[in-house]
Chains A and B, each alone.
Chain A
């Protein structure tokens, strides 16, 4: 299996709204903590180290291009 980088979430707008909703009313620190927990939960769900490495690289790649 390799990292999916094509659209994969049904009703993407609904998901996006749900993602923002869990942050509603939270301070920056609380939201940062929430994001960290979310990353760890998702990473564990994926489990596959090769896919995780691809995901880490894909996310870093964008950051590198921006700076």
Chain B
């Protein structure tokens, strides 16, 4: 049995950087080859920026970690060239059931909106997720992109030198130093780089423990998310069962605060718990068992001169709502195009501060949502438990109470309302969901899907009106996409026109709307582009 997570996929190999007297300077160094570091590196390489990724390990994710990936990150991954392998391998799900005590109180269908290339959610083990990212990285390497991944390279020290950062890296053959124009810290929730720079990470720890188990079983359970409040097999606590590929099932059992973690983790204690949950006759093997406590916290600022934090290093949430990796990918989606413009001298360095503003906003939204879920799942007072139970009891009989049941509000994309990069909305009657700051919703085109045509560069999208095929402003080439009513899918009209007869959208390289109007206006468009790159 040699599983993917046991295989060294990027074993240590000596680099030429270790044999030089003067440290080599790199354009970008990414620390951490988790989902976010790999995403950042692939995006950089696709933008033609030379990048070195270092990780203190040489394998994909170990243990029970992310399983649930939402539509927006899948769309981002598609732009990065690896969305489809994830969906092909993943388990697509829409159905769920909620149980309270011994009863099923209701079931639901997420009823995903039609006309999107990607499903609302897939379940996929984090080790597969990282494997597909690694495959994509290797593919780019083969194509000649300047991307290098160094395993068993552990960052020991970073120093801010004003216009660059020096990075001391330990290897099995001893330490060496490199310099980075830009350092992207994706070194996880325990971020050593954060500590090295003496930066804080404040927030809230939830006084609770969760036993997270991945079990392999041949079982009849359907492809649904099952969530129990106060079930007979875990009295006073909660439980979750969710399917992953390869017959692996994720089980979360809330354990409470005062427990002996080492005892609880022992198979002789875990197996009876799982039997009580799954039934005596179900045969299963344990793939992983871990005990987690969860926290919600973030750094005050994600950018510290030329060191930029992303993913769990910058913010951490409880997993209810599947917002960790999902939001981390939105970080690098937001960051990399800005960094590219700054590196190319096309935008002022201050553009990077908008990364801070936009993604701190995203992190706050995630922290708010996952704190609320955690408070519902693990009520902190008698009155809070009373209302929680009342909601659950009512939900069995009355539809109105079901939206109040909070077993995790699943990740949706963040809208950057109020960002300085947005131009005020100038499309009367335009749909709310596509206002400046929002991420573009997918929609079917004559051939393929809208999001396949957006991203990586600025795009001017004209619907039922004319816009120039090409436009250059401040050295930035803006492509165009013209859509006329004969070919217009009703979903596209609903998502981008609303009450308006025509529309012109300026869309950022991360597929977020920067500005929109009814008709093309050259001066307004140029001003909006300058604003979107931090020049106004």
Contact = CB atoms under 8 A, between A and B. Distances in A.
A36 interface: yes
Interface in A24-62: 32-33, 36-37, 39-41, 44
Interface of A: 32-33, 36-37, 39-41, 44
Interface stretch (B151-159, B161-169, B299-307, B384-392): B384-392
B394 A32 contact: no
A33 B390 contact: yes
A2 to B, nearest CB: 23
Contacts of A40: 387, 390-391, 394, 401, 404
Contact of A44 (B386, B389, B400): B400
Interface in B394-417: 394, 398, 400-401, 404
B390 A37 contact: yes
Contacts of A36: 386-387, 389-390
Nearest to B388: A36
A41 B398 CA distance: 9
Interface string B363-393: 0000000000000000000000011011101
A1 B331 CA distance: 42
20 contacts: A32-B386, A33-B386, A33-B390, A33-B393, A36-B386, A36-B387, A36-B389, A36-B390, A37-B390, A39-B387, A39-B390, A40-B387, A40-B391, A40-B394, A40-B401, A40-B404, A41-B398, A41-B400, A44-B400, A44-B401
Contacts of A39: 387, 390
Interface of B: 386-387, 389-391, 393-394, 398, 400-401, 404
The 10 closest A-B pairs by CB, nearest first: A36-B390, A44-B400, A37-B390, A36-B386, A36-B387, A32-B386, A37-B394, A40-B390, A33-B390, A40-B394
B290 to A, nearest CB: 35
Nearest to B387: A36
Contacts of A44: 400-401
B404 A33 contact: no
A24 B390 CA distance: 19
Nearest to B391: A40
Contacts of B387: 36, 39-40
A30 B456 CA distance: 59
A5 B244 CA distance: 54
Contacts of A33: 386, 389-390, 393
A38 to B, nearest CB: 9
A49 B80 CA distance: 42
A39 B394 CA distance: 11
B393 A37 contact: yes
B406 to A, nearest CB: 14
